[in-house]
Structure 1
Amino acid sequence: MSMLSRRNILKIGGAAAALPLLGQGAFAQEPLKVGFVLIGTPDDNGWNHGHDMGREAMEEALGSKVTSTVVTNVAEGPDSERVFRELAQQGHKLIFGTSFGFGDYMLKVAKEFPDVKFEWATGNATSPNLSTYNAKFHEGRAVLGTIAGMMTETNKLAYIGSIPIPEVRMGINSFALAARKVNPDVSVKVVYIDSWFDPAKEADATRALIDQGVDVFASHMDGPVSLQIAEERGIIGGFGQGADMSAFAPKAQLTSIIDVWGPHYIEAAQQVLDGTWAESSTWPGLKEGEVVIGPYNEKIPADVVAAAEKVRMGIIDGSLHPFAGPIMDNAGTERVAAGDIIDDGEFWAVDWYAAGVEA
């Protein structure tokens, strides 16, 4: 059975139709039906694309043992509850919600379907049949911040943020701390778009920041818009988010954070098939290969690449932590003392910005 014949993509707009079981012989085991709920579409070349690549890796690895359904363009609101409920009613026994704002609705539906396993990406709460999974994107931001701090000519950096949730603040702080470690004169201007995907608003914000002198960008959006504007304006550049975006900005993309979700999706589906799935929270990063730094643009000087690699390898071998103290916030208060770090459990309470951040 080809991969294509096992893939169903449902566009939101009306109730999702019930899906027939595919290609079963008289004695064949019924495949595990796996649902994926995306806030955007796989062709965003970023966050949603990364999750869909992971889904495809799951299908390739498990073959006829699984069949998958992708529901796209699902807003973080009450309609997502309907989508999760309908997937469960249609017989999906493993359902992934791939955006933070799906959480309350997933937790509610999970209670109604105790025999269905749910997994919430970037979530912060679990239940007996709902796990969370995440990636330490902030580790990658430390590598990007190192490059930005060394390459900027104006000492003005920017971070295009989506929504001010802990995951995004982690990225901003990690980027700023790393940049100021190599260049104490830099500042990081943060602009929130209040959406994961709003190309027009993101483009306007990027142009305005460039007009203010920003010459290196980081982004926490689901597409390559800020990179495309950077390419058009001829500034130093920025970084891909979630996937390699060099095809859209070959000169402006300095490198990228690539999310590799396939191993997690394969493992979770296999656990459901084996009957071993259990409530858990996973948070891998650079060391485990769930966060990957893409190829470095050839225009990056060798000493900058070496500094970036020192950070990347230091995080992997444990000799460097992006949030090692001392850390001051942008109001002058010490938040992390020398010799201390912000541990994994403390990240979710961070509601402040590091020194140098203008937000």
Structure 2
Amino acid sequence: MKVLKALVVMLVLGMAMAAYGADKPVKVGFVYVSPIGDAGWSYAHDLGRQAVAEMDGVTTSYVEAVAEGPDSERVILNMARKGYDLIFATSFGYMDPMLKVAKQFPKTSFMHCSGFKKADNMGNYFGRMYQARYLSGIVAGAMTKTNTLGYVAAFPIPEVIRGINAFTLGAQSVNPDVTVRVVWTKTWYDPATEKEAAKSLLDVGADVIAQHQDSPGPQEAAQEKGVYSIGYNSDMASFAPKAHLTAPVWNWAPYYAKVVDSVRKDNFKAESVWPGLADGIVDLAPFGPMVPEELQAKVNGVKADIAEGKKKVFAGPIKDQKGTLKLADNTAATDNELLGMTWFVEGVVGTTE
């Protein structure tokens, strides 16, 4: 009888623990578009994965340098077939391949970074990096002597265009005479190409170089020229300590832990989320020693205002390159307008193609 009672107690405890996800093991996969040693986008995501791997009962795995398109579908499909409970795909071009696989594996949870398509078991997420871009623009606008800023850009998609615009608006907020010259590389990770693009901007007078790619190539080009740079994704100061002013950076660990925990507790929801400075997902890297304390204080003040909702980055009046009013005074861009942004603000030199 005692044995029977003990078995019943163990069964009840086991059911309770399962209900709360206390001991439920979770297998999580990550798909990266570039090498994790790039010091950029994939490196930042992998720092989040490493934090998740420390959670009890959680095992993680990743595949790096996965090309967008059919190759990514193969990798995601392979993870789903191997019984992964949750899969994160961390590049825009993985969206349709992940959606296709998600429909084949309805019991697996999928999350796509930077996209907009969803399914019952597939959500999407991103961070309001444009907020940190705006702050880095303030630094660049205050530090330039030529009033020409260079921007090495990846692909002409809303995410990148939005970042360029935010950077420009931040620079213009402290220096109305500044212009931002854009060069497209059509790469996410190609150190040589990205460095050459930066050099082309330096040749036309840019004395601060910003970027939207994963390699530190543009940072190195700026240092070699003896001018300043703004990094991206992670703190790239070690690659160009004499040039690096700061960088908009990612901190994915809190969000990844939250999603993994939801899967562990069987309450995963295929949501669309877009957190920002207030949530700690985006931030600025430490300032370089060449950034004056007064400027640091100004940037930190604006940062606090944005985080508290007192300031909107895209608040009118804002005109496009042609001088057409896009946002009237006392109005702010909606999330849908931001997510679909395909035009440059006044002061950007370049095309959205």
TM-score greater than 0.5 by the shorter chain: yes
1:166 aligns with 2:196: no
SS in 2 for 1:241: coil
Q: Deviations over 1:155-213 (max 9, x none)?
A: 00011111111110110000111111211111100111101011111111111111111
Measure the CA separation in 2 of the matches of 1:207 and 1:217: 9
- Bigger share in helix: 2
Measure the CA separation in 1 of the matches of 2:196 and 2:47: 30
Percent identity for Structure 1 against Structure 2: 42
Amino acid at match of 2:33: I
Corresponding residue of 1:59: 53
SS in 2 for 1:242: coil
User: Which has the larger displacement, 224-233 or 305-314?
Assistant: 305-314
* 8 A contact 1:141–1:175 mirrored in 2: yes
* 8 A contact 1:96–1:119 mirrored in 2: yes
1:306 deviation in Å? 2.3
Corresponding residue of 2:17: none
1:30 deviation in Å? 6.7
* 8 A contact 1:238–1:253 mirrored in 2: yes
* 8 A contact 2:150–2:202 mirrored in 1: no
Q: Write the mapping of 1:135-154 to structure 2, written as runs, cut at 5 A.
A: 135-154=127-146
Q: Write the mapping of 1:214-293 to structure 2, written as runs, cut at 5 A.
A: 214-235=206-227, 237-293=228-284
Match of 1:333 among 307, 314, 324: 324
Corresponding residue of 1:104: 96
In our comparison, the structure showing a higher alpha carbon Rg is: 2
Measure the CA separation in 1 of the matches of 2:230 and 2:195: 15
Amino acid at match of 2:36: P
SS in 2 for 1:238: strand
Measure the CA separation in 2 of the matches of 1:44 and 1:254: 19
Corresponding residue of 1:347: 338
1:86 aligns with 2:88: no
Structure 1: 5+ residue stretches without partners = 1-27
1:240 deviation in Å? 1.9
SS in 2 for 1:167: helix
User: Which has the larger displacement, 298-307 or 91-100?
Assistant: 298-307
* 8 A contact 1:327–1:334 mirrored in 2: yes
* 8 A contact 1:142–1:311 mirrored in 2: no
Measure the CA separation in 1 of the matches of 2:279 and 2:75: 32
SS in 1 for 2:236: coil
Amino acid at match of 2:334: D
1:308 aligns with 2:302: no
SS in 1 for 2:238: coil
Corresponding residue of 1:39: 33
* 8 A contact 1:33–1:68 mirrored in 2: yes
SS in 2 for 1:69: strand
Corresponding residue of 1:132: 124
SS in 1 for 2:239: coil
Amino acid at match of 1:135: G
Measure the CA separation in 2 of the matches of 1:207 and 1:158: 10
Measure the CA separation in 1 of the matches of 2:24 and 2:267: 18
* 8 A contact 1:133–1:282 mirrored in 2: yes
Structure 1 moving runs of 4+ over 2 Å: 28-31
SS in 2 for 1:191: strand
Corresponding residue of 2:167: 175
Q: Report how many aligned residue pairs link the two structures.
A: 329
TM-score after normalising by structure 1: 0.90
Measure the CA separation in 1 of the matches of 2:35 and 2:50: 14
Q: Deviations over 1:248-304 (max 9, x none)?
A: 111111012220001111111111111000110111111111111121111112232
Structure 2: 5+ residue stretches without partners = 1-21
TM-score after normalising by structure 2: 0.91
Corresponding residue of 1:13: none
1:345 deviation in Å? 2.1
1:310 deviation in Å? 2.2
Amino acid at match of 1:217: I
Q: Deviations over 1:65-113 (max 9, x none)?
A: 1111101111011111111111000111100000011001011110000
